Amino acid sequence: MGIGQLLTSIDYIEYTDGGNMDKQQTHLLCQTDIQAVDIQNLVDINDVKIDTTMKKADRIQNFIRDIKNPYCFRCKNTVVKVSFCSEGGSFQDLLQDYFSSLPPGK
């Protein structure tokens, strides 16, 4: 199960502080306007640690908890907006196809 599928299939995400995020809140997160968001309020993905000893679904849920908004976060000083599609190839497959299609030297 990929992160996009997990986001659409879970009823809520429980946080260690006892809070949770339901489907309506998740939908609102995906509507984040990157032109209006304050970059200082976004989590830097470089600060998110992944425990590779955990099961995949648990790693994904922990990532979502730690990144706070899996649809909009930052990578150093760059705002990143992500969209997920329930159909089609994985993100890794899409990136591989894209880079394979570039002319040599690009």
Give the whole-angstrom CA distance, residue 106 versus residue 100.
Answer: 10
Give me the helices (H) in the chain, please: 3-9, 23-30, 56-67, 91-101
pLDDT digits (tens, 9 = 90+) for 63-74: 888 988 888 999
Question: Could you tell me if 97 and 40 are in contact, meaning their C-beta atoms sit under 8 angstroms apart?
Answer: no
HSE-up (13 A, CA, CB side) for residue 70? 21
Picking from 68, 18, 22, the residue whose alpha carbon sits closest to that of residue 48 is: 68
Give residues with Cβ within 8 angstroms of 70, minimum separation 6.
3, 7, 29, 63, 64, 82
pLDDT digits (tens, 9 = 90+) for 38-55: 999 999 999 999 888 988
Indicate whether this model's pTM tops 0.75: no
